[in-house]
């Protein structure tokens, strides 16, 4: 059966219009604290030469019938260029990433851009309100969810999965040529550290612009950076110190690395400094508590240890020493317990080698 030319032309026109509409940033007409609310972001559709600020309304509602809203900034240059995504707060009680992206935005506001930088300032709003790491459901069944284990989930059933699905599909997925997801250690300390795929040349080159202490090579398709890597967008997880605290030296270094990377891909102008992490490896070992009690570290971050070196001493409720924990291998200390209380099986620290 032949299709009449007019009908075919009309059908093609409708498809084109539909694709155009789907690609647009969708404003729902609401405002929160003077900021427009969006339900879908397409940075290509935004006016160039402006710093845009939105609240992104996540799909799904809490048990009061209300939505969650994420603060999002899009800094779009007059000239075209690469699209970069910075996300903070996937794990909500990790403070350094919030303060890092604030400073990135402040520095970018002072100079011309060639390209677009999108910042998701606060990713996990329910967790942030509760001051915990995970997504916290509002309903009577309190099963918290790790949003960094379901970043691009396809079957959205639980409230946390609906939340993740909405953010990935309507905010993150189509708006980046590169992505950096910012975290901290939990519950131990961390230096400036990267979970990254060193087997991917583009990701490896990207990581080396950040002057990090340790790069640990790993792959995952359930994390935010893994979700991006799975669709061909170079990405890695940048760990910036410890949870619940502000560590200005590490934040400053993370900001410097982010700006250096933006210079590297010519989003901003300036000299680039490429470095190699002190340690690039895929070998990692934890030291875990055998008993419950109080633990005193005998090592610091980035200490070099040899197999058998003393790392931790544990005491019982009466102050008697119950265990000395030594290094399982030659290596570099990358994690140390923060809270001195530990139960059997608790992670006390880690080394890479």
Angle among Cα 56, 73, 258 to the nearest 5 degrees reads 130
pTM of this prediction exceeds 0.85: yes
CA quadruple 286, 287, 289, 295: dihedral sign: negative
Percent of the chain with pLDDT over 70: 94
User: Quick one: pLDDT at residue 110?
Assistant: 84
Q: Looking at residue 7, what is its pLDDT?
A: 34
Residue 32's pLDDT band (boundaries 50, 70, 90)?
very high
> Residue 124: pLDDT band by 50, 70, 90 thresholds?
very high
CA dist 19 and 44 (Å) reads 14
User: Computed over its alpha carbons, how large is the radius of gyration of the chain?
Assistant: 23
283-352 is classed CATH 2.40.30.170? no
Banded pLDDT at 4 (limits 50, 70, 90): very low
Instruction: Answer yes or no: is pLDDT of 21 > 80.
Output: no
Please determine, for residue 2, whether its predicted confidence score (pLDDT) is greater than 80: no
pLDDT digits (tens, 9 = 90+) for 243-278: 999 999 999 999 999 999 999 999 999 999 988 888
Bridge partners (DSSP) of residue 53 are 73
CA dist., res. 149 & res. 99, Å (int):
24
Residue 229 pLDDT > 60: yes
Q: Which of 41-45, 82-86, 271-275, 322-326 has the lowest mean pLDDT?
A: 271-275
How high is the mean pLDDT of the chain? Answer: 93
Neighbours of 252 (CB within 10 A): 13
Q: Please say whether the beta carbons of 155 and 121 come within 8 A.
A: no
Q: How far apart are CA 336 and CA 301, in angstroms?
A: 7
pLDDT digit string, tens, across residues 45-80: 999 999 999 999 999 999 999 999 999 999 999 999
Domain regions of the chain by residue span: 22-279, 283-352
Q: What is the pLDDT of residues 129-154, one digit of tens each?
A: 999 999 999 988 889 999 999 999 99
Burial of 192 (0-12, 13-18, 19+ CB in 10 A): buried
Asked if 185 and 242 count as a contact pair (C-beta separation under 8 A), the reply is yes
> 22-279 has which fold?
Aminopeptidase (3.40.630)
């Amino acid at each position: 059966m032949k299709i009449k030319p007019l009908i075919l032309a009309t059908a093609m026109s409708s498809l084109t219009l539909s694709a155009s509409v789907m690609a647009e940033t969708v404003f729902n007409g609401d405002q929160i604290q003077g900021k427009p609310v969006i339900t879908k972001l397409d940075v290509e559709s935004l006016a160039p030469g402006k710093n845009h600020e939105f609240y992104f309304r996540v799909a799904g509602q809490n048990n009061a019938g209300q939505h969650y809203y994420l603060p999002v900034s899009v800094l779009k240059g007059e000239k075209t260029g690469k699209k970069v995504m910075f996300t903070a707060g996937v794990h909500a009680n990790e403070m350094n990433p919030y303060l890092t992206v604030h400073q990135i935005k402040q520095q970018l506001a002072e100079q011309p851009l060639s390209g677009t930088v999108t910042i998701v300032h606060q990713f996990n709003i329910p967790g942030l309100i509760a001051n915990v790491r995970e997504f916290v459901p509002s309903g009577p069944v309190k099963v918290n969810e790790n949003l960094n284990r379901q970043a691009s989930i396809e079957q959205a059933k639980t409230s946390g999965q609906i939340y993740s699905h909405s953010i990935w599909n309507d905010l993150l997925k189509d708006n980046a040529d590169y992505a950096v997801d910012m975290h901290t250690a939990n519950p131990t300390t961390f230096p400036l550290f990267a979970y990254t795929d060193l087997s991917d040349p583009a990701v490896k080159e990207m990581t080396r612009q950040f002057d990090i202490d340790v790069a640990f090579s790993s792959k995952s398709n359930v994390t935010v950076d893994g979700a991006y890597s799975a669709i061909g967008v170079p990405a890695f997880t940048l760990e910036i110190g410890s949870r619940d605290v502000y560590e200005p030296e590490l934040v400053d270094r993370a900001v410097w690395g982010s700006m250096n990377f933006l210079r590297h891909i010519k989003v901003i102008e300036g000299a680039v400094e490429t470095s190699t992490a002190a340690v690039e490896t895929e070998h990692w070992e934890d030291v875990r508590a055998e008993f419950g009690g109080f633990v005193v570290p005998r090592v610091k971050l980035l200490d070099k240890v040899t197999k058998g070196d003393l790392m931790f001493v544990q005491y019982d409720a009466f102050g008697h020493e119950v265990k000395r924990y030594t290094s399982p291998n030659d290596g570099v200390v990358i994690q140390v317990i923060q809270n001195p209380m530990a139960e059997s099986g608790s992670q006390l620290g880690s080394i890479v080698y």
